[in-house]
Amino acid sequence: MKITDIREARVSIASDIANAYISFAKMDVSVLAIYTDVWVDGRQVVGYGFNSNGRYAQSGLLRERFLPRLREADPTALVDDSGANLDPFRVWNVLMANEKPGGHGERSVAVGIIDMAVWDIVAKTENKSLAQLLAERHGDGTADANVSVYAAGGYYYPGKQVSALKDEMRDYLDLGYTCTKMKIGGVPLAEDLERVEAAIDVVGDASRLAVDANGRFDLKTALAFAEGLAPYGVRWYEEAGDPLDYALQQQLGEHYAPPMATGENLFSHQDARNLLRYGGMRADRDILQMDPVLSYGLVEYLRMLEVLKQHGWSSRQCIPHGGHQFALNIASGLKLGGNESYPRVFAPFGGFADSTPIESGYVAIPAMPGIGFEDKRELMNVFDKHLR
């Protein structure tokens, strides 16, 4: 196998939504296509990649650093022992050659975009879904047929009232979701608790609603919100403080017994290991949300899962950030605890295949090779427009 062409572009996903920390008014995303000289069932094998929302497009890093390394590499350094398929681990080593350890910055995102496209190629060449490929290579041999998903939303919109939040939550239930997530921390505690009560009123039970502060709080505020949230019993209290403030996370856990969640802004297995060592996370109830695309790709995510295993954590406690088809395949093939979903925001990158509607809070893996982007018409239209 040889790579014959690589194409990259920047695409806007700007909107007027905001969380407690950032506005998405200028948000964009990198899209990537890697073409190969392999054909399967009459179709050229092409791998597609993009970065998860919340981090901007990585065009500079891709064009000036990582894609040149991929283009200039000896083709034999990128393939497996058979020479018939790419080896994601060898590709990763080529991309990270001459890179110092630590200080991950956003190079982890650029590498993750390429990694997504590479795994798409590998699974398509094997004529298997990525979920099944991962189950066979890195799991127990069988993929989960369906994956639990929750609808992430509840953002702050200009002029949005509590009634609009309730309408949004009803919409998610109508789409087939049973669990949802909403933002907190963008308004005073009393106002946010009013929003939480309104959302619970719609979803029917607090255990079906998670809340996310996006790292906004200092310890005092995190504890105040914890005290306010505790009586409700929400599904989890997410990213109360800065993602690298392990002491804050540890102290929060001493005062807040219900489940907590964090990890989407940790970009290496070393970061994940430090969270488990120093963050007071509890393997019997807390959720880890590391994002395979933002954190150097699936190659590094597999290293994270090994760290979790060494610390006595089950993969079922992992529910990745990202809300897209790549993470869904990973959740299925590696038997994670579920997957995020963005049914109404970050389109068409969020959400899943056209042929697999949400049913009672679960979604199936599309019956096609690779990640399954070809079963997502609006996303393929974006790829066709920008990368053909």
Residues with a known catalytic role? 183, 321
What is the distance of C-alpha 342 from the center of its chain? 10
Looking from the CA of 337 toward its CB, the CA atoms found within 13 Å total: 19
Helix axes 130-138, 107-125, angle to 10 degrees: 90
46: β partners? 35
Core vs surface per residue 227-261: b (16+ CB within 10 A) or e: eebeeeebbbbbbbbebebbebbebbbeebebbbb
Q: Which helix (H) or strand (E) covers residue 362, if one does?
A: strand 362-364
- What DSSP string describes 52-70? PTTS---HHHIIIIIHHHH
Residue 65 corresponds to which tokens in the numbers above? 């650093």
Give the Cα separation of 169 and 305 in Å (integer). Answer: 32
Map tokens 């970061």 to a residue.
271
Q: Is 287 left (phi over 0), alpha (psi -120 to 50) or beta?
A: beta
Rounded to an integer, what distance in angstroms lies between the CA atom of residue 65 and that of residue 88? 18
The C-alpha atoms of residue 198 and residue 7 are separated, in whole angstroms, by 46
